[in-house]
Amino acid sequence: MKNITEESKHFLSVQDMVVQYRSEGKVVMAVNGVSFDLDKGKTIGLVGETGAGKTSIAKAIMRILPDHSTYQNSGKVMLDQEDIMSIPEQEMRKLRGHKLSMIFQDPMTALNPVKSVAEQIAEAVRLHSDSNKVQAMKRAKDMLELVGISADRANEYPHQFSGGMKQRVVIAMALACDPMLLIADEPTTALDVTIQAQVLEMINALKEKLNTSMIMITHDLGVVAETCDTVAVIYAGQVIEYGAKEDIFDRPAHPYTVGLFKALPGMNKSSRRLSPIVGMPPDPTDLPSGCSFSPRCPYADDACKRDAVGMQEITPGHTCRCLKAPL
């Protein structure tokens, strides 16, 4: 079912992704029509506050949203010319961990406490290659060495590792089958600054070696600066600004993005976390009408609060969801 349209020239193309959860009788509108593209070997950064819907986007691409609480999930994901949202689960399972894989946000809980780390890595290897147990174990140990963990410790269990080492194990697991697309969900937030740099360097090196495409999810603009080619700024489940890293960093157009950079205490200081934009992110069970940033926006007027705002092009390849842009 190959379908060569304009978008599918890209290695990955996500179109109109919607994710809604059911929670205590309410519908949580976590992702509301997200679209972006990614080319082979490139990295896109998904940046946004906590609760913006970043992890939900990642899980939706992997098709591992939790059955029990997912209310609705729609959209189209073209990966390497194949619409992976519509293939049968069995086919999708063969791609997961192989063609596309994911590094989970919280290394403390991402590993199964009752299986040795090597076992957990080897499992993925065995599922996606015809290697036997011994070969898979060998590969698992090689992967551990690659992320800087001695193969002697392969048979130890997650509780015997520090947080940073667990994060490395998670990375080794995600990379064990040479994925073509790697989704890294805040791979460094759980780590201290020095380890952060090491881990990022490691991911970058591995990525280059395998020519892997990557979705880097983070709320750390420093990480974006170091790893990404393009950036999508996510706010309340929507892409509100999208473009090359240089566009976003040098010429931010959306008041929210501008706020993000203003909130930084100076790019060479160690603390690069986002936050101080006045007000709170909107409640995903009750999104405001019009632009969802309008309640917090210093430039908003009545027009902003009336109708949904579409994406408009600022310069070629740089788009923004704001009536006032560029400021």
Ligand X SMILES: Nc1ncnc2c1ncn2[C@@H]1O[C@H](COP(=O)(O)OP(=O)(O)OP(=O)(O)O)[C@@H](O)[C@H]1O
Task: Please identify the residue of the shown chain whose CB is closest to the bound Mg ion.
Answer: 55
- What percentage of the chain's residues is helix, strand, coil (to nearest 5)? 35, 25, 40
From candidates 284, 290, 309, 322, binder to ligand X by CB under 6 A: 284
Neighbour-count burial for 148-161, b at 16+ CB within 10 Å, e otherwise: ebeeebbeebbeeb
Say which amino acid occupies 254: H
Site string for ligand X, 210-229 (x = CB under 6 A): ---------x----------
Tell me if 233 contacts ligand X by CB under 6 A.
no
Cis peptide before 326 (omega within 30 of 0): yes
CA–CA distance, 292 with 37 (Å, rounded to integer) = 23
- Report how far apart, in Å, the C-alpha atoms of 229 and of each of 90, 213, 232, 255 are: 33, 11, 10, 22
In the complex with Mg ion, the residue whose CB is nearer, 105 or 120, is 105
Tell me if 69 contacts ligand X by CB under 6 A.
yes
CA–CA distance, 234 with 320 (Å, rounded to integer) = 11
- Segment interacting with another protein, rule: CB under 8 A, options 121-129, 191-199, 216-224, 300-308: 121-129
Helices of type H across 27-132:
54-62, 89-95, 107-110, 117-128
Taking the complex as a whole, how short is the minimal distance between the CB of residue 232 and ligand X, in angstroms? 12
Taking the complex as a whole, how short is the minimal distance between the CB of residue 266 and Mg ion, in angstroms? 26
In the complex with Mg ion, the residue whose CB is nearer, 55 or 294, is 55
CA–CA distance, 107 with 41 (Å, rounded to integer) = 25
**Phi, psi values for residue 168, rounded to 5°:** -65, -40
Site string for ligand X, 24-53 (x = CB under 6 A): ----x-x-----------------x-xxxx
Taking the complex as a whole, how short is the minimal distance between the CB of residue 22 and ligand X, in angstroms? 7
Tell me how many residues contact another protein (CB under 8 A): 35
Site string for another protein, 64-103 (x = CB under 8 A): x-x-x------------------------xxxxxx--xx-
Cβ contact 319:242 at 8 Å: yes
Cβ contact 144:173 at 8 Å: no
Q: Which residues bind Mg ion (CB under 5 A)?
A: 55, 105
Binding site for another protein (CB under 8 A): 59, 62, 64, 66, 68, 93-98, 101-102, 104-106, 109-116, 120, 123-124, 127-128, 157, 159-160, 170, 173-174
Instruction: Enumerate binding residues for ligand X (CB under 6 A).
Output: 21, 23, 28, 30, 48, 50-56, 66, 69, 105, 219, 284
